[in-house]
A = this chain, B = another copy of it.
């Protein structure tokens, strides 16, 4: 096990009806800005529940945070925060809204440069404070509600980059599985794939005798494999939605990644697919991961065998057969979730691969993966294999 520091201070309020409890978690005199995306939280009643919980409190709203939230949109919220002296941000939505709100929290008070885009250029290293924030999660997927990271896109340049800071970690997160009942099938499917790949990025590297972390990761993967398809076929099954929601949070709150090597190359290649073609984040992961695992078979051999046995119960045949079987099972799982795994399924012929590789280079992604051995040439081959 590697040395690690693990800090998971976000207080989780989990279960049906917990939105009603959130006012206890926000200081009584706070000037609150509710941030959200489109109108779905109006249609499904979540925004009403939040307003009821905050009755009598000082509350403003900012809407319009888009999937893959943009700097351009978020800077409008930053202006409101400054003008209205907001001191608590309440993100109501999925990972994009939570991520975007983290940027607002950091940018509103950013001292290190005149333009807060600097936060992304320096992955958050110069953030020294943030507006306090909480989250009401409506889409289990990214884990952003209980970690300190965010991914932001700059529309003008097509850049999609990430930052981290303890100053933007939500102080609380409300997770009510009931609010996910009305989500479109595609969003639930994306969320399951996203949580699955988050787990894989922290698990499927090389053995380091971190037995608890391995067993926890395998537990999340098994749960997502069992419950993901049921979340689609039984959309109002509370138990299933609760297990999916809790898995997604646990997949990226720092716990399973503490003390182990981490990969994240699939995410980096995926980000360029989203930035260039607007694909959903999970779609890009479903495209890249099978071809990434195939390309890195040698380096990931021991963990691929463990994954094959413990997650997919593949115990017979040669080692290579078990490894290939596990990669095929992973692809099948994504397909079963309704998330296609080839660029061609999204009408992409691979013609932009050189441009995406160039963007990877611009973003410094020239030595990816747990061994820092994935060059731009490797990334090109991995994209090609995913056409």
* A227 pairs with B239, CB closer than 8 A: no
A residues 165-195 near B (Cβ < 8 Å) are none
If A9-B9, A216-B219, A227-B211 touch, whether A242 touches B1 (CB-CB below 8 Å) is: yes
Chain B residues within an 8 Å CB radius of A2: 15
Distance in angstroms between the alpha carbons of A216 and B216 in the assembled complex: 5
CA distance A219 to B219 in the complex (A): 8
| Total chain A interface residues with beta-carbon distance under 8 A | 40
A209 touches B243 (CB 8 A): yes
Q: A279 within 8 Å of B by Cβ?
A: no
Binding site for B on A (CB under 8 A): 1-9, 11-18, 209-212, 214-216, 218-220, 222-223, 226-227, 239, 242-243, 246-247, 250, 255, 258-259
CB pair B215–A222 under 8 Å, yes or no, is yes
CB contact between A6 and one of B12, B218, B220 (< 8 Å): that residue: B12
In the complex the two chains form, what is the Cα distance from A74 to B16 in whole Å? 42
Q: Which of B4, B14, B210, B222 contacts A259 (CB 8 A)?
A: B14
**Contacting A211 at CB < 8 Å: which of B7, B15, B243?**
B243
Contacts of A12 in B (CB 8 A): 4-7, 258
Closest to A242 in B: B1
Closest to A15 in B: B3
- Are A246's CB and B212's CB within 8 A? yes
- Are A13 and B17 closer than 8 Å at their CB atoms? no
Collect the chain B residues with CB atoms within 8 Å of residue A13's CB.
Answer: 5
